[in-house]
Amino acid sequence: MRYTLVTLMAAILMPLALWAGPQTAVFQQVEGRVQVVRHGDVKPATAGMVVGQGDEIRCESGSARVILKSDAGHEIRLKGKTRIGLKRFTKDKESHQTLIDLIQGKIWMAVAKLRTPSSTFEVNAGGVICGVRGTQFDAQFDGNKQKGRFGNHEGRVAFTDHMKMTMEVPLKHYCNFKNGVYTDTRPMDHGDLTEFNWK
């Protein structure tokens, strides 16, 4: 009977083990000097390299370009002089949880449609939190000047600033903030719309 019970428990728990675990992302493209910091160790990023929760990605050179693809279907693009941290990067059977810390620089994201209410995709730029559920948007942040912006390229994009004010970013517009507080909204120009269009 003991052997039968162990076998039964294994049959129940194995599917859960297959679902539970960290979310990962793969470098699909790496140009320029790009580094990955993991548990204090610094390694050069290469195409095919896998990153996950807790890793920091640094585009050190001004000409650096990176394309990441997560196993949740999200695409993340980084430009030169950009640093991000994969603060929360998890998944289970019910949800995918993504929180990216934009420490410095510019990123563009194509977020796959979140299939469950408990799934999240957020970007933290100096304490201003932007959340989406399936869209294309970009985020920029200058940590030295404590100013940044979120841009809506497609779909719905909303953010909450330090004053707990939540705002939607109009399509093809930027919402700017400084010292954690929303300042103004402006339309994108052609350069804004095509800045991350590379293969």
Neighbour count for residue 193 (Cβ, 10 Å): 13
Computed over every residue of the chain, the mean pLDDT equals 90
Do the domain assignments include residue 2? no
Q: How far apart are alpha carbons 35 and 57 in whole angstroms?
A: 6
Do the domain assignments include residue 12? no
- Return the H-helix or E-strand segment holding 149: strand 147-154
Q: How far apart are alpha carbons 98 and 95 in whole angstroms?
A: 10
pTM of the predicted model as reported, rounded to 2 decimal places = 0.87
The predicted pLDDT at position 92 comes to 84
pLDDT tens digits for 31-45?
Answer: 999 999 999 999 999
Using the predicted structure, report yes or no on whether residue 171 has a pLDDT greater than 90. yes
Domain that holds residue 120: 22-190
The predicted pLDDT at position 115 comes to 84
108's tokens: 């563009």
User: What is the CATH classification number for the domain harbouring 149?
Assistant: 2.60.120.1440
The predicted pLDDT at position 143 comes to 94
Do the domain assignments include residue 179? yes
Do the domain assignments include residue 13? no
Using the predicted structure, report yes or no on whether residue 3 has a pLDDT greater than 60. no
On whether the CB atoms of residues 70 and 86 are closer than 8 A, the answer is no
pLDDT level of residue 164 (50, 70, 90 thresholds): very high
In which region does residue 120 sit, left (phi positive, over 0), alpha (psi from -120 to 50) or beta (all else)?
Answer: beta
Do the domain assignments include residue 1? no
pLDDT level of residue 198 (50, 70, 90 thresholds): confident
Do the domain assignments include residue 199? no
Domain count, the chain: 1
DSSP-derived secondary structure for 6-60: HHHHHHHHHHHHHH-EE-EEEEEEEESSEEEEETTEEEE--TT-EEETT-EEEE-
pLDDT tens digits for 93-145?
Answer: 888 899 999 999 999 999 999 989 999 999 999 999 999 999 999 999 999 99
Cα dihedral: 34, 40, 43, 49 (round 10):
-80
